[in-house]
A and B are shown apart, each in its own frame.
Chain A
Amino acid sequence: MRRFLLNRLLHTIPVLLGVSLVAFFVLRLAPGDPVILITQGDATPEEIEAIRRNLGLDRSIIVQYFAWLGKVVTGDLGQSLYTAQPVLTELLERFPNTLILAASAIVLAIVLGMPLGIIAATRRGTAFDSSSMVVSVLGWSMPNFWLGLMLIVVFGVWLRWLPTGGMYDIMAMEPRFSDLLVHLILPTLTLATAHMAYVARFTRSSLLEVLSQDYIRTARAKGLSGWIVVVRHALRNSLIPIISVLGVTVGNLLGGAVIVESVFSWPGIGSLMVQSIMNRDFPIVQGAMLFAAVVFIFVNLLADLLYAVVDPRIRYD
């Protein structure tokens, strides 16, 4: 196990290097000068040059990259071009909020998606199977910014049951947990819908494959009830591909959060990234991409370790 972990961690080095390259160069190769944005066009050429010099943007792009990378390996992700605050501080302030949203969405996607997939698989070919799969195709296809706005209009504006955005009532003297939960409902639903549909479809197909295996037929021949066969014998074996899908889903959730956080004014890393991309705040965007990559790698590593828990045949010794 230790060897496996070490091996996997060593593999993350080239991955992170690749991410760092993409994060650094894509933004810089895209048109747009952060100094023009910082000064809002209101500065003399001399002032612009001075700012560019102060920010180190006058050096060659290669020199800038290695200077940045040198700091990154020591844990210093640089400073925001706008606030002069450390990037890591800015990210860590926002990360818990993104985590709350993403975790709620993944829980909802599993809690609703898996049973839906299981029922559809066990009732293959029925009206329930067909309609649940149509719903899941719809859920998967709906753009989440559109879905978010529709939910806001219906539940926030028309019915006034739920807040239209934010994380809590800003004028409350002390933020309450119940308030957070109420604010969490619509963004979670928006973010979870597509993934719920994906989990449902994947669970269904994975379970169907297992249900056609000989040992399932044997179990049924022994006289076990349908649900016991599914839950005790089939489900566990169909979990491995589902876990691997969930690992990828977490990455997609982080990506989806960028849009959902913007629609619902959720103060996470996603909305910070959008704001920073618009401002060409290079260090924040680079830091956020690296941060997301680390989270993604960690979650997938966790998924790999979970295989061994679910399937005793898998060992990492």
Chain B
Amino acid sequence: MPDRSIPSDRGFSRRETLKGTVAVGALAAASNIAGGISAASAAVQGGPIVLAVPAESNAVNVVAAGGVSNHMRVMVQRSLLMYDNLNSTYAIVPGLAREMPEVLDDGLRFRFQLRDNAYYHDGTKVTAEAVANWINLQIDENHPDREYFKWNPASRLRSVKQAEAIDELTLDVHLKSFNAAQLDWFTDLAYEGIPVEAVKNRANIVDEDLGAGPYKVARRDKGVATIIERFDQFYDPEEGRAPRIGFRPIAEMNARVAALEAGEVDYIDSITPEAADLLRANDNIEVKERKTLYVWFISLDSREAPLNDVRVRQALNYALDKESLIRDVLGGGAERSYSPLSKQFGPMYAGDVVTHYDYDPDKARALLAEAGFADGFKSTIHTNTGRRGQLKPIEMSQFVQANWADVGVEVEIEALEWSAFEGRRRKGEFKIATRGWTPSTGDPDGLLIQNFHSSQIPPTQRNVAFLQDPEVDRLLDEGSGTLEMEKRTKAFVDAQKRIVDLAPWVFVAHEIAFVAHNSELQDYPTVHPSGWGESLTYAWKA
């Protein structure tokens, strides 16, 4: 019988959460009595903050947003659960929910008790009915208000069968089948809800937003800026210190850097290691590294010769000098990858226990000879022409091409525009392909299962290396079949050991992203590995 209790190390225990809630309530009450001012306004500190973002949000609400800025989502919206923004970890803590959910029906039902003091930005109270209605509207094509829903359902709702309001503040979420990553999925902002009446007013969803986060949208000038301001009815008075935060879209990275140097903006992200070096020379600017969950890899289709021989796949791993690639091509903007999961996965990281494919061209040649390819072979690397989140795919492929040529493996590089590349890659059309991948949650379940489980074979799924190994399947099933963290960790670490030995990928790099801000920005949180948790709700500008 799988253990489906809530793991205590993925968030506050119920008792801790309740204690915290009581303490905050007491503090708020005390400040009201003592100073005669509201607890909400007590935390306002400093002046407004301006952030430069690479792309403007199409809309404020996450469901309608497409490329909405992560920063803004975290500040304007609030889901049932959330990652720990304050400490910048992947610990899951209650958001709109008062405490971690109760797991019922063997993991098929999650019961939430919502906070009694959470409000949407129009002043409407967050209720189980509002959350349930919004979830059901997104997943049910026969929902009576479905005509008002013009967007694509969030992928993190695909496990949900139905949401049900038990009473004003009690919400049940029924799943179609057990999903060990569901707690992470509950951090998705699609679980925030929208006031029932507002659903019918589409404009509210797109531009005005009715989030339940610590900031509300004050002004939105398309292409120019979005300004958010502190929402005084937010349940936690400690969040939302800066009175206002502006988001200014600046597509060009060099222009973003210039705007920061000119003092026009307080914060920028998505900058290259070279730009980060330039900014470090400025005494008024602090550059921070964001070590990420991201992995850049080369998938090897294991169905046909020569890549169906594990020795060939291992040889290609040994033949690549990852350290030099990271230093020379990426300017140091990455960590070496030893296994699919980066160090940011905490206990799930297996880099210390898996086989290390350190650069060894002699060993690569020997393995190729053993496999009957002493003279090497010819093939093609498919890559993309570049996109945010793909590092430098062409330059990196050229480096790989040169390294592999040293051991007799001659590859041509074929670079395709991103969406064409991804469309064909997902159909399993490429023998060798490069790709960068950022897991959308802090749970390893998605990355490991989608890329290495035999049930995920293209063209319908994403295991483009066509790895079909019963032992890997067994370990991944074991890890994804329990909510108990110790068992999950062991199963996923063991699975990674086996996966690395089978070498369906060449494991290359985990990106280090760079952000920079001026020194006036205070209490800026430790950089969160996903970028999601980099909420500036605790930051203020001196």
Contacts and interface: CB of A to CB of B under 8 A. Distances in A.
B222 A164 contact: no
Provide the main secondary structure of the chain A interface: loop
B40 to A, nearest CB: 22
A165 B155 contact: no
Most chain A CB inside 10 Å of its own CB: which residue of B244, B259, B419, B423:
B419
Nearest to A83: B58
B198 interface: no
B460 to A, nearest CB: 5
Interface residues of A, number: 53
A31 B414 CA distance: 14
Interface in A19-49: 30-34, 36-39, 41-45, 47
A34 B418 CA distance: 10
B331 interface: no
Given A97-B223, A171-B227, A275-B56, A36 B255 contact: no
A163 interface: yes
Nearest to B440: A42
A280 B419 contact: yes
A299 interface: no
A153 interface: yes
Interface in B235-252: 244, 246, 248-252
Given A171-B227, A171-B246, A267-B221, A33 B255 contact: no
A171 B50 contact: yes
B48 interface: yes
Nearest to B47: A171
B224 A164 contact: no
A170 interface: yes
Interface string B44-87: 00001010000110110000101100000000000000000000
A37 B419 CA distance: 6
Interface in A53-92: 54, 80, 82-85, 90
A36 B422 contact: yes
Contact of B67 (A43, A54, A157, A279): A279
A94 B422 contact: no
A300 B221 CA distance: 32
Contacts of A44: 158, 460
Interface stretch (B261-269, B349-357, B506-514): B261-269
Interface string A105-125: 000000000000000000000
Contact of B423 (A33, A42, A156): A33
Contact of A165 (B150, B259, B261, B423): B259
Nearest to B418: A32
Contact of B152 (A39, A90, A264, A280): A39
Nearest to B387: A278
B221 A265 contact: no
A166 B151 CA distance: 30
Given A82-B66, A156-B262, A167 B224 contact: yes
Contacts of B59: 83
B64 A271 contact: no
B420 interface: yes
B258 A31 contact: no
Contacts of A39: 152, 155
Contacts of A94: 222-223
B459 interface: yes
B388 to A, nearest CB: 9
Interface residues of B, number: 50
A103 interface: no
Contacts of A37: 418-419
A31 B251 CA distance: 23
Contact of B155 (A42, A167, A171): A42
Interface string A243-268: 00000000000000000001111111
Interface in A123-156: 149, 152-153, 156
Contacts of B202: 84
A32 B420 contact: yes
Interface in A157-192: 157, 160, 163-168, 170-171
A226 B344 CA distance: 78
B169 interface: no
A274 B155 CA distance: 27
Nearest to B389: A40
Contacts of A38: 66, 152
Contacts of B67: 82, 279
A166 B152 contact: no
B206 interface: yes
A264 B255 contact: yes
Contacts of B341: none
A290 interface: no
B226 to A, nearest CB: 9
A45 B222 contact: no
Contacts of B251: 262, 265, 271, 274-275
A209 B380 CA distance: 60
Contacts of A163: 262, 264
A170 B262 CA distance: 15
A266 to B, nearest CB: 8
Interface of B: 48, 50, 55-56, 58-59, 64, 66-67, 150-153, 155, 158, 202, 206, 221-225, 227, 244, 246, 248-252, 254-255, 258-259, 261-264, 416-420, 422-423, 426, 440, 459-461
Given A156-B258, A163-B262, 12 more contacts: A33-B419, A44-B158, A44-B460, A45-B461, A164-B259, A170-B246, A262-B251, A262-B252, A267-B224, A272-B223, A275-B251, A280-B419
7 contacts: A31-B416, A32-B417, A36-B426, A82-B58, A97-B223, A156-B262, A265-B250
Closest 6 CB pairs of A and B: A267-B223, A31-B420, A170-B225, A32-B419, A84-B150, A82-B66
